[in-house]
Structure formats: structure tokens, C-alpha cells
Structure 1
Amino acid sequence: MNRFRPGIAPTLVVLALLPLFVSLGLWQLSRGEEKRVMLAHYAERRTAPAISAERLPATADPAYRRVQLRGTFDPEHSLLLDNSTREGRVGVELIQPFHDQVSGLWLMVNRGWLPWPDRRTPPVFDTPAQPLNLDAWVYVSPGATFQLHPDAQGDAWPKLVTAVDLSKVWPILGHDGFVHELRLEPGPAAYRVDWPVVAMGPEKHLGYAVQWFAMATALLGLYLYLGWSHAKGDKNNKNKENTHGNGHESNQHV
């Protein structure tokens, strides 16, 4: 039988890369399952009846819950969430403090996306002054921190931000507000509100997992092929040497 002889260098490469490829594939499968559960959770919450704002602080898991609001916006302290695009167009999301008159609770409401084609001029938006009845849903941030652009420091408003952590925003405004962002549903005061629930769907994670597992399989197959090829080559060389040696001995006898 041919001995399996892949060589030291290919063995080291396989030992380094094969576990990595397999672990990346498993991680993609795990992320895909997380996204699937998240989307199912979102769909269930979005079809459930809306709750009042006064129930939010006591709600253990507020993510994606629909909420009914009644109150007014604070037009003096707007946040412009940067790095947001729609169909290739650059823009920002307009986030404003909202005082719910029924519960007395302060909330940060995302009114949606609006275009900002020219960075030399501020984005154009208006804020209704009258009390409004609004429908919104709770968006739980994945844990980004509050970051101001360098030119947004100081007392000037609106402030351009790259991420929002409301536990750091409310002390700046002097309010003890709700710690999660609310996103408007289509209706009064809403701009473009077609947010994706997840940036990458479960099917993409599955596709990436298949790619990693395919790379692992190809690597292992190549490793086996090289090992048996080297063994076969060594055997052929040995047979040639034996044949040459036997032939040389025969010539000496003659």
C-alpha cells in the first residue's frame, strides 16, 4: 500500500486554515439563525396591538413593540444620524426628542430618512409645533456609542452624529428619558421610514457558510490529493531505482 506523504508545509497550512474555515462557516450559520429568530420576533411584535408610552419603562423586552404616542416634538435639539443612504443617495435620519403628554415620558423619536445632497448647506426639515398622535415602534440598538462629528461639538444644534446611545444623550438634554429609540410608522411628521430590520438577511449568512465549508472541503481534498500523489511518486521512483539496480547487476554478471 502507498504511504500517505503530504509533506510538512501542506500539513501546517491545513492545520492552520481548515479549523478556521470550518469555524467561520459555523459562525455564519449561527448568525443566520440569530437573524431568522430576530425577523420572526419582529414580525410577531409588529402585528401585535400597540401599547401606551406609559407602559414602556416597565416592559422587560420592548424590542419592536408598537407604541401609541400623544405629545409634541422638541424642535431645538435635533440629531442627524449620518452615513445613511437610500437607493444610492446620501442623507441622514432625523431624530428628535418627543414629550408624551399622557405618560409625561420623554422619548427619542426617529422621524425617518431625508436627503442631504449638498454637505455645504444644512439638510432641510420642519418640526410640527402642535400636539400629534403618532404610531411608532421600539428600536433596540445593537450597542453603538454616541459619537459626534468633530464639527458638531459645542452648543450648536442640530448635531450630526454617527451613532446614538441614548443613555448618554439624555443627560446632555437634562431629561430622564426612555433609553431606546422609537421609529415612526408612516403618518404625521414621518419622512421616509423604510428601515431594514437587519442589514444582512439569514439567506446571505447561509450562502457565506456554504462558501466557507466549500473552501474547507476543497482544501482537505487538495491535501489528500497531494499526499497520495507524493506517495505514488515516491513509489514510482523507488521502482525505477530497483529496476535500474537489477539491470546493472545483470550486466555485471554478463
Structure 2
Amino acid sequence: MQIRWRLVSFSVFTMLVFAGLVKLGMWQTERGTHKQQLVEQLAQQRLATPADLSHILATPHDQLHGLPVQLKVAIDPSWRVLLDNKVHNGKVGYQVLVPVIHHQLRFLVNLGWLAAPLSRQQWPQMPEIPEEVILRGHIKLAGEQPPLLDQRYLFEQRGAVIRSQTAQPELIAKQLDIPLQPWLVLLDESEQWGLPRQWQWFNMGPEKHYGYALQWYSMAAAVLILMMVFLLRHYRNNSEKES
């Protein structure tokens, strides 16, 4: 009776592990499919005509990602945001975000990369930025905010400069106490003004998600096979004993 109970417990535990691995595989598959859709959307957006205000307002939120824009904007001189821990050509620094205004829209523009001083206690010198420009770039929807162990370090402020651990417009808007659209614009790489920039739209492409999914499914299959081999041997040994 005790042996049978252990066998049932082992089988239940193994099936739970199997189900968990399959669920992880399905999650990575879904993420890969979503990333693939975004890649295809970006490819289509690159061929689109730059959007004006009416086009932006008429576009559903989930279709804004990658949308090219060309807008005359006034750059808000009140704030500069340093997006922390950004790498360019192997060097660590910041990306500089500035609030801009176009009619009734106020949103953030990412100007590119700025080198960080050697000491964390030193903040970089802010570059000179024109007060009014024709902005050419692409809309980017903010991804999920990774969790921070200590929310006190989400923002640091020195005068009109904010050092931020997040690119979430909603959180930055709350910190700056100004209304911002729930997206930002990446300055076009061909524009002569701004800072050095080479945009990376995804931290991980769809093929990596599919690769991780295959690993999880393979582990699930291995667990199931091992359980079946164990049960088969168990019943075969019992049959030999009984005979």
C-alpha cells in the first residue's frame, strides 16, 4: 500500500512538472508570435507616409508602434530625462529624452545616446537642443517596466534633469507632473541634429522566443518519457514477482 501511494505521488508530481514545462513553452510561443507580428508591422510602417496629428489620433494604440511621423514641435526647456544604463558602441551612458509639444499633444522624444562620466556621482553635461524643429522619427510603444527592488531609485533629480530607470511615459509624466502621451518618438537615425543613435526595437527577436519554447517542450517530453519508462519498469518488475 505504501509503495502504491509513493507511485501515485511520484506520478502526480511528474505530471505537474510536465504541465508547468508545457505552459512555459506555450508562453514563449505566444511571445514569439507577438514579436513576429511586431516585426512585420515595423516592416510595413517603414514604407508608410509620415503621419501628421490627425493620422496619429485616428490610429489605434496597438498600431502606433513603428509609425513614422513628421511634426513641427516645440521642445520643452523645463525638463531633460536621462534614461539610465544604455550602451552604444560598447560604452555605457544614457539616452536623452525631452518633452515636446505639438498642438495639443505633449510627448517624449528620444534624442539618442550620451556618454556617462567616469563617476556615478557626476552627471553629464546636457547638449544644446533647438527650441523648435521639424521632428522626423518613429513612434515606439513602451514595453513592460521590469521590477525594481527599491522604488526609491526609480528617479533621481538634479534641478531640471531627471535620471530615470524607466522609459514608461506614464511614470515619467507623474514624476514631471506634466501630461504625456503613452508613447514616445525615436528620432530618425538620418537626422543631423540630436545625439548618436542606433535604435534597437527589440531586446529579443521572435526566433529566440521560439528557441526557448523548443527547449521547454523538449524538457517536458523528456520528463514524460522518463515517467513512462519508470512506470513500465515498475509494472514489469511487479509482473515478474507475481509470476
Relative to the length of structure 1, the TM-score reads 0.78
Trace 1:193-232 onto structure 2 (pairs within 5 A).
193-232=197-236
**TM-superposed deviation, 1:215:** 0.9
Map of 1:184 onto structure 2:
187
**TM-superposed deviation, 1:117:** 4.6
Cα distance in 2, alignment partners of residues 162 and 124 from structure 1: 19
Trace 1:1-254 onto structure 2 (pairs within 5 A).
7-53=7-53, 55-61=55-61, 62-86=64-88, 88-100=90-102, 103=103, 105-118=105-118, 119-129=120-130, 131-144=132-145, 149=153, 152-153=156-157, 156-167=159-170, 169-170=172-173, 175-186=178-189, 187-239=191-243
Q: Number of residue pairs matched?
A: 231
Q: Is contact 2:145-2:168 (8 Å) kept?
A: yes
**TM-superposed deviation, 1:38:** 0.9
Q: Is contact 1:6-1:230 (8 Å) kept?
A: no
Amino acid at match of 2:133: L
Identity among equivalent positions (%) equals 25
Cα distance in 1, alignment partners of residues 183 and 154 from structure 2: 25
**TM-superposed deviation, 1:170:** 4.4
**TM-superposed deviation, 1:46:** 1.9
Q: Is contact 2:173-2:180 (8 Å) kept?
A: yes
Relative to the length of structure 2, the TM-score reads 0.81
Seen in structure 2, the aligned counterparts of structure 1 residues 25 and 220 have a Cα distance that, compared at 3 Å, is same
**TM-superposed deviation, 1:184:** 0.4
Amino acid at match of 1:200: M
Gaps of 5+ in 1: 240-254
Gaps of 5+ in 2: none
Report the RMSD for the aligned CA atoms in angstroms. Answer: 2.8
The SS at the match of 2:218 is: helix
Cα distance in 1, alignment partners of residues 230 and 97 from structure 2: 60
Cα distance in 2, alignment partners of residues 204 and 35 from structure 1: 10
